[in-house]
Structure 1
Amino acid sequence: MSKKAASILLIYTGGTIGMIKDYKTGALRAFNFDKLLERIPELSHLDCEIQTISFEEPIDSSNMTPDLWVQIAEIIEKSYQEFDGFVVLHGSDTMSYTSSALSFMFENLTKPIIFTGSQLPIGDLRTDAKENLITSIQLASLKANGKSVITEVCLYFEYKLYRANRTTKINAEHFQAFASLNYPCLAESGVHLKIHYEDLLPVNRRKKLKVYKSFNTNVAILKIFPGITPQVLNAFLNNDEIEAVVLETYGAGNVPTLKWFNACIENAIVNQKVIINVTQCSGGGVIMGAYETSSHLQKLGVISGGDITTEAAVCKLMHLLGNNISKKVLKTIFETSLRGEMS
Structure 2
Amino acid sequence: MKRKVLLIYTGGTIGMEKDYVSGSLKPFNFEHIAKKIPEINLLECEVAISSFPEPLDSSDMGPEEWKQIATIIEEEYTHYDGFLVLHGTDTMAYSASALSFMLKGLRKPVIFTGSQLPIGDLRTDARENFLTGLYYASLYEHDEAVVQEVAIYFEYKLLRANRTLKYSAEYFDAYSSPNYEILGQSGVHLNVDKEALFRNSTDELFRVDYHLSSDILFWRIFPGMPMDYLLKLPQVKVLILQVFGSGTIFHSAKSEKVLRTLREQGTDIVVVSQCVSGGISFGKYENSNVFSAVGAISGHDLTAEAAITKAMHLLDNPNYKGSFAENFQQVLCGEMSAEEF
C-alpha deviations, 1:129-174, integer Å up to 9, x for none?
Answer: 0000000000011001111110000001000000000011100010
Asked whether the equivalents of residues 128 and 175 of structure 1 are also in contact (C-alpha less than 8 Å), the reply is yes
Corresponding position: 1:274 with 2:268: yes
Residue 83 of structure 1 aligns with which residue?
80
Whole-Å separation in 1 of the counterparts to 2:271 and 2:319: 19
C-alpha deviations, 1:248-284, integer Å up to 9, x for none?
Answer: 0000011112111110101111221011000001110
Residue 163 of structure 1 aligns with which residue?
160
For structure 2, the 5+ residue unaligned runs are none
Whole-Å separation in 2 of the counterparts to 1:310 and 1:254: 16
Asked whether the equivalents of residues 5 and 47 of structure 1 are also in contact (C-alpha less than 8 Å), the reply is yes
* Alpha-carbon shift at residue 324 of structure 1 (Å): 4.1
Residue 50 of structure 1 aligns with which residue?
47
* Alpha-carbon shift at residue 300 of structure 1 (Å): 1.1
Corresponding position: 1:307 with 2:301: yes
Whole-Å separation in 2 of the counterparts to 1:133 and 1:311: 23
Deviates more, 1:78-87 or 1:16-25: 16-25
Secondary structure in structure 1 of the residue aligned to 2:198: coil
Whole-Å separation in 2 of the counterparts to 1:178 and 1:60: 18
Whole-Å separation in 1 of the counterparts to 2:124 and 2:132: 14
Residue 173 of structure 1 aligns with which residue?
170
Secondary structure in structure 1 of the residue aligned to 2:153: strand
Whole-Å separation in 2 of the counterparts to 1:233 and 1:34: 49
Residue 218 of structure 1 aligns with which residue?
215
Residue 39 of structure 1 aligns with which residue?
36
Q: CA RMSD in A?
A: 1.4
Residue 139 of structure 2 aligns with which residue?
142
Asked whether the equivalents of residues 82 and 110 of structure 2 are also in contact (C-alpha less than 8 Å), the reply is yes
* Cα separation, partners in 2 of 1:306 and 1:134, compared to 1, 3 Å: same
Deviates more, 1:184-193 or 1:222-231: 222-231
Deviates more, 1:122-131 or 1:327-336: 327-336
Residue 296 of structure 1 aligns with which residue?
290
Asked whether the equivalents of residues 104 and 208 of structure 2 are also in contact (C-alpha less than 8 Å), the reply is yes
**Seq. identity, %:** 46
Residue 20 of structure 1 aligns with which residue?
17
Whole-Å separation in 1 of the counterparts to 2:276 and 2:270: 17
TM-score by length of 2: 0.96
Correspondence 1:1-343 to 2 at 5 A: 4-204=1-201, 206-236=203-233, 239-240=234-235, 242-324=236-318, 329-343=323-337
Residue type of the alignment partner of 2:309: C
Asked whether the equivalents of residues 108 and 204 of structure 1 are also in contact (C-alpha less than 8 Å), the reply is no
Paired residues in the alignment total 337
* Alpha-carbon shift at residue 320 of structure 1 (Å): 0.3
TM-score by length of 1: 0.95
* Alpha-carbon shift at residue 235 of structure 1 (Å): 2.4
Whole-Å separation in 2 of the counterparts to 1:326 and 1:86: 27
Asked whether the equivalents of residues 85 and 141 of structure 1 are also in contact (C-alpha less than 8 Å), the reply is yes
Deviates more, 1:206-215 or 1:40-49: 206-215
* Alpha-carbon shift at residue 24 of structure 1 (Å): 3.7
Residue type of the alignment partner of 2:68: Q
* Cα separation, partners in 2 of 1:48 and 1:162, compared to 1, 3 Å: same
